[in-house]
Amino acid sequence: MKIARVAGTVVSTVNSPIFDHRRLLFCDYLTPDGEVTGDYVIAVDGVEAGPGEIVLIMDEGTGARQIVGEAIAPIRAMVVGIIDFIGS
């Protein structure tokens, strides 16, 4: 699992049918301190996250495919949670 901030949505008019009726989010990965790492991912939105929100990303294809219920699908990353607070 990785932490990221939603930067925006991705719109694709031609795509695999697995993405029909699913939002794609452009997410910037963060360090545990909240700094942008410079890496990003386009992830399927599983929790209705919005721009600016800090999210938890499952960046592992098998788990993401299990969530959508498809054993064979071109999905690698999925937003699985919205983070309210990171503390010690």
pLDDT for 1: 92
pLDDT digits (tens, 9 = 90+) for 17-73: 888 889 999 999 999 888 999 999 999 999 999 999 999 999 988 888 888 888 888
* Ramachandran angles phi, psi of 65, nearest 5°: -65, -35
The answer to whether residue 87 sits within a structural domain is: no
pLDDT for 15: 87
CA nearest to 30, candidates 20, 22, 41, 19: 41
The answer to whether residue 8 sits within a structural domain is: yes
CB 78 within 8 A of CB 44: yes
CATH of the domain at 33: 2.40.50.220
The answer to whether residue 88 sits within a structural domain is: no
Domain count for the chain: 1
CA distance 22 to 74: 13
Provide the residue range defining the domain that includes 56. Answer: 2-82
